[in-house]
Structure 1
């Protein structure tokens, strides 16, 4: 039988003297009760036993910690993981979409932004996410040149933590995202002047009639490309064009008599010009087969934007910054109507007048005339 014969031996190490007079050592694994030979060198056997005991203790401690971590009390103290909460947050957003509080495009945008945060923080407790963690994530996104994405991500994260507070997942009212500094987004897209728009419009008319009509409709209504592509002749009711903005849900009724002086056309004139030999419900429609779209089908908003870009590129014009997109027609329209004294905040469908001011800002591309 193996016995601990010397009091100096560490725990689990045993010594036995053989018939040849030499002492041999064995270490007993406390996990399995099995003995393992350690040789006859006492110093080596003691050192190895001490190290084995340490490794076993670490394993036992780690195992016990894992068990403790799974207790209800520990889980409550730790709270929900960030990944689980972000999943729950998106479920809440989708419920809001079903009740009409949020638009599908908003849900799509938030889902892509939440994916960025989830990739970084999924396994971390929500309570452990502090202002520094949010700051570092925003800096990482900005380092990729995605300042607009970083700005949108910050706004979304502020809402994420507000919702978590309302649901009892966070306490104290602290919002780590709100404590970060707002992301400044440098405006890079060039503004479009009326002189430039006339040149591009002439090129658009040569390319495809519906492209020119889409530009005129954008100029005379000051609406986004998502609304331009969706407008139908059925939206004309009496003396008004009535529709709901796709992005905001704002319902507008624009008089057909609305006249853009520099264009020399009213809204009614532009709608009449959209009528052609092709029978269609849509104001902006294909006049011949185009890929899978038959004559009369609505022109997709991406196709409208690309056609504008092609006309712009063929116009011979150049810009110092990023060339203007189709969306710049909305800003140009706001500036032109403002000069006519039209209520551009209502026309644009903005609830906040500060947003209207951004659209009316020419960013220095036009001269300011001093009245004398």
Structure 2
């Protein structure tokens, strides 16, 4: 309903300010409905009323700031966030140089952010928008996923703040969801042997390599039979011309999850057990990778995770392990989310090495490893771990 026109005698005054003739005082009506006496000085009363209305009744006031925002802002803060996403993403990727899989996830999230914030000015984004975004796209997601999406918003907003597009980062005020303790059960050595005994040769090779090296599926799938020199982003073997004290060469592992840390470069001596695994993996398939298989036509396209048609993709390795686990009934009494995956071989390896009195931390590429030898090869420091083996058969 339209508001009643002001009396002619008050039209020269700001809204909600009037002059009490009996008391000779100016009176301002607050948003609470309470009336506050300002005083008898007309100029002062008008100034106070204008400032009060500007702050407490912005929807009824026109200010220089509101006009600037409405025209897009000085730095673009009045424009929708979606207008800036492409440029912000370019900065983020250049600054943080994420792994390709991480970058792909970020780019998918950026599409959602552009869609959701397509008509919301940067300077108006609040915690309420953060909550609405999570509820709109990820209401049914796990706490872990929701927390990751909040962290992505926090990243985007931090760059927006850096460019003066936002005044603060409302995602910083978002309370993160509580993550339940790890539900997945550990893989026992007996379970490992049961699965291994029914595995195809390529999967058996992957399992054995994971057990001996304490590495995860990505590194296992990248191990090459032979490399000329150890280098960044490569996993492979350098062989000695003649074995020395039962050592046939060195397996170099660059663990990608912690690739920027010194501990991520691991040099593992190739003893009899590792040599056996590598020798037994050789077959009629011409492949540079120790873990390999001849896939069905077009089922293993070249990608960021697969460099050769015979190389096994990490996701396929995990799925094959889990499918075999379920087919032979290992831990079938547990809910699916609690059954051990291929990644649990890494934890089993650490446990078995520790049982031998060997610190597994360096082999696992953990930065808190103790008693490790570090030497330089091609300006890269590699952590040399002691020779150790886990007997499987």
TM-score (structure 2 length as normaliser): 0.60
User: What is aligned with 2:348?
Assistant: 332
Q: Which of 145, 149, 152 pairs up with 1:153?
A: 149
The answer on whether the counterparts of 2:213 and 2:268 sit within 8 Å (CA) in structure 1 is: no
1:225-246 CA distance string (max 9 Å, x none): 2222221112212432113234
How far apart, in 2, do the equivalents of 1:77 and 1:212 lie? Answer: 57
Matched, 1:185 2:198: no
- Deviation readout 1:79-136 (Å, 9 max, x if unpaired): 3421123222221233347xxx322112112112233333322221122222232134
Please tell me whether residue 111 in structure 1 is matched to residue 107 in structure 2. yes
Residues 215 and 176 (structure 1), Cα distance of their counterparts in 2 relative to 1, 3 Å cut: same
Counterparts of 1:81-120 in structure 2 under 5 Å? 81-96=80-95, 101-120=97-116
In the other structure, the counterpart of 2:381 is: none
Which residue is 1:64 aligned to? none
- Once the two structures are superposed, residues 294-334 of structure 1 have per-residue CA deviations (whole angstroms, 9 ceiling, x without a partner) of 99822222332222122111222214231222222223323
Q: Secondary structure at the match of 1:177?
A: helix
1:244 paired to 2:254: yes
1:124 maps to which of 120, 123, 126? 120
How far apart, in 1, do the equivalents of 2:347 and 2:354 lie? 11
Cα distance in 1 for residues equivalent to 2:363 and 2:161: 37
8 Å CA contact 2:224–2:288 kept in 1: the answer is: yes
String of CA shifts for 1:213-232, please: whole Å, max 9, x gaps: 11111122222222222211
Looking at structure 2, the residues matched to 156 and 134 of structure 1 have their Cα atoms a distance apart, in angstroms, of 11
> What does 1:207-218 correspond to in 2, within 5 Å?
208-218=200-210
RMSD after superposition: 3.2
Whole-angstrom distance in 2 between the partners of 1:181 and 1:351: 29
Structure 1 ranges of 4+ moved more than 6 A: 68-71, 293-296
Which of the two has greater strand per residue? 2
Q: Are 2:295 and 1:285 equivalent residues in the alignment?
A: no
Which segment is superposed worse, 73-82 or 185-194? 73-82
Extract unaligned runs of 5+ from structure 2.
1-66, 227-235, 240-248, 301-307, 370-393
Distance in 1 between residues matched to 2:357 and 2:156, nearest whole Å: 41
Structure 1, unpaired ranges of 5+: 1-67, 259-264, 354-372
- Cα distance in 2, alignment partners of residues 347 and 109 from structure 1: 29
The match for 2:162 is: 166
Establish whether residue 233 from structure 1 lines up as the match of residue 225 from structure 2: yes
Change (3 A) 1:249 1:167: same
Query: How far off is 1:255 after superposition?
Result: 1.8
**Distance of aligned partners of 1:162 and 1:352 in 2 relative to their CA distance in 1, 3 Å threshold:** farther
Q: Secondary structure at the match of 1:189?
A: coil
The match for 1:200 is 195
Q: How does 1:275-314 map to 2 (within 5 A)?
A: 275-286=282-293, 288=294, 290-292=296-298, 297-314=310-327
Q: TM-score, normalised by structure 1?
A: 0.63
State yes or no: 1:221 paired with 2:187.
no
